Amino acid sequence: MQAVKPTRVRYLILLLLFLVTTLNYADRATISIAGSSLQKDLGIDSVMLGYIFSAFGWAYVLGQIPGGWLLDRFGSKKVYAWSIFTWSLFTVLQGFVGYMPMASAVIALFMLRFLVGAAEAPSFPGNARIVAAWFPTAERGTASAIFNSAQYFATVLFAPLMGWIVHALGWEHVFVVMGVLGIVFSGFWLKYIHNPKEHPMINAEELDFIERNGGLVDMEKADGAKSGPKWGYIKQLLSTRMMLGVYLGQYCINGITYFFLTWFPVYLVQERGMTILKAGFIASLPAICGFIGGVLGGVISDYLLRRGHSLTFSRKLPIVCGLLLSTTMVLCNYVQADWMVVGFMALAFFGKGIGALGWAVVSDTSPKQIAGISGGLFNTFGNLASITTPIVIGYIIAATSSFKYALVYVGANALLAVFSYLVIVGPIKRVVLRDEHGVELSDTPAKLASSPT
């Protein structure tokens, strides 16, 4: 009898993760594309714009652990679908703040950005959770890199579109268009996302392949995480040197990310004298390189793993080399030609893409009982940069009337991330939790079903 070929449903799941993360980052970036025009219309200075840029981050950070618990308690499908719908609705509403009195409009814009951050909080812990459930260990780096590279694809695809919308129709329309796209996508998510054992399109052969090779197919349990986050488990993560190094590294990597998501288009307009239409298209060029680097980093890491190298070496090598390359953005301070600025930024974005393997490391290290909370804690530390980076750069620009030291600040983040992975992290391995008596928790499905988190 001919053997039945395994299905490839996990690649459909990965495509949906890629698309939803593209929308996620596009909605974050709307404010940066609209930034210069919005600044003029609302009469706000660089410091105030920095605080508005940071509004997303305050709520996003505060929502990480609760968002991770919701994922562990109710499952990725329902929580993520609600997240997509609500962040998209708040994005639409930002398009109407221009009809308010100026002072009220600034407050409303800050609050709506805050609410977008709160609604998006479960998204990346959800991504890591779904990848851990659907992908074998040797495919997890590539899968994580692909969904993470959507942040660059969002800029490639939507920055020119959003730049044109601002130029032709006004900044308000950017928010409406992007929000409506997200609301529509939430319906596709509900239709096609399922747990591995419940997906109608998967066959037994693919499910067995995933499970035999490290996929956590039993992760989704309706009766898990009923009692809320167990702070003892969180304390165990915070007392692990490896995890602290990973958290610091992600904070620094996100410092680079949020420069590109917030101030980079403003840099092109105000420091380099480009029109917002041109800036929208120019911003997409480094993002293309970031996208290529993001996918390549995961492919290289998994290739090294398949060749027999340790998990530690396979993850750290692309991270360190990529982040060292991203420091080249500082060279923009010493050139005048626009094409050279774009070239150095593209090189820096390419390097940052290669080095952005933090979510693969989270999938490799998270305790199986609290994968959602672990991802949420990781994202809490990482996205502190979404608060600090826009504000620090705003103050730097206000104090110096230049972006030169802002670029130095962003480059220094890359060097600190390299130090963290080389010196602090140590061997990369899965964290094993212990109960209140110091006994290691079992990873069997029965135990996973009953272990409170």
Please, which residues bridge with residue 434 across strands? 440
**Type of residue found at 417:** A
Q: How far apart are the first and last CA of the chain?
A: 46
* Average pLDDT value for the chain: 80
In degrees, rounded to 5, the angle at the alpha carbon of residue 303 between the alpha carbons of residues 301 and 305 is: 70
* pTM score, whole prediction: 0.69
CA distances in angstroms from 445 to 76, 92, 122, 202, 453, listed in the order given: 18, 42, 24, 20, 15
pLDDT at residue 2, as a whole number: 57
The pLDDT of 226-235, averaged and rounded, is 64
Domains along the chain with CATH numbers: 9-450 (1.20.1250.20)
Is residue 450's pLDDT more than 80? Answer: no
Estimate the crossing angle of helix 9-42 against helix 172-192, to 10 degrees.
160
Least confident of 38-42, 77-81, 108-112: 38-42
pLDDT at residue 86, as a whole number: 92
Is residue 443's pLDDT more than 50? Answer: no
Report the C-alpha gap between 230 and 209 in whole angstroms.
32
Both tokens of 264, joined, read 């980079």
Helix (H, G, I), strand (E, B) or coil at 280: helix
What string of DSSP letters covers 353-414?
A: HHH--HHHHHHHHS-GGGHHHHHHHHHHHHTTHHHHHHHHHHHHHHHHSSSHHHHHHHHHHH
Is residue 449's pLDDT more than 80? Answer: no
Helix (H, G, I), strand (E, B) or coil at 78: helix
pLDDT one-digit tens code per residue, 234-252 = 788 888 899 899 999 999 9
- Residue 69 pLDDT class (50, 70, 90 cuts): confident
Is residue 420's pLDDT more than 90? Answer: yes
Both tokens of 329, joined, read 């953005």
Least confident of 52-61, 261-270, 382-391: 261-270
pLDDT at residue 317, as a whole number: 94
pLDDT at residue 211, as a whole number: 80
pLDDT one-digit tens code per residue, 4-16 = 788 888 889 899 9
Closest to 158 measured CA to CA, from 46, 27, 273, 276? 27
Is residue 159's pLDDT more than 70? Answer: yes
The pLDDT of 334-360, averaged and rounded, is 86
Is residue 447's pLDDT more than 50? Answer: no
Percent of the chain with pLDDT over 90: 17
What's the chain's length in residues?
Answer: 453
The pLDDT of 160-171, averaged and rounded, is 77
The pLDDT of 347-361, averaged and rounded, is 88
The pLDDT of 155-183, averaged and rounded, is 80
Least confident of 72-76, 190-194, 198-202, 441-445: 441-445
Phi/psi for 440 (5° steps) reads -60, 135
Closest to 239 measured CA to CA, from 433, 395, 370, 414? 433
CA distances in angstroms from 2 to 5, 94, listed in the order given: 9, 57
Report the C-alpha gap between 202 and 213 in whole angstroms.
16
pLDDT at residue 451, as a whole number: 30
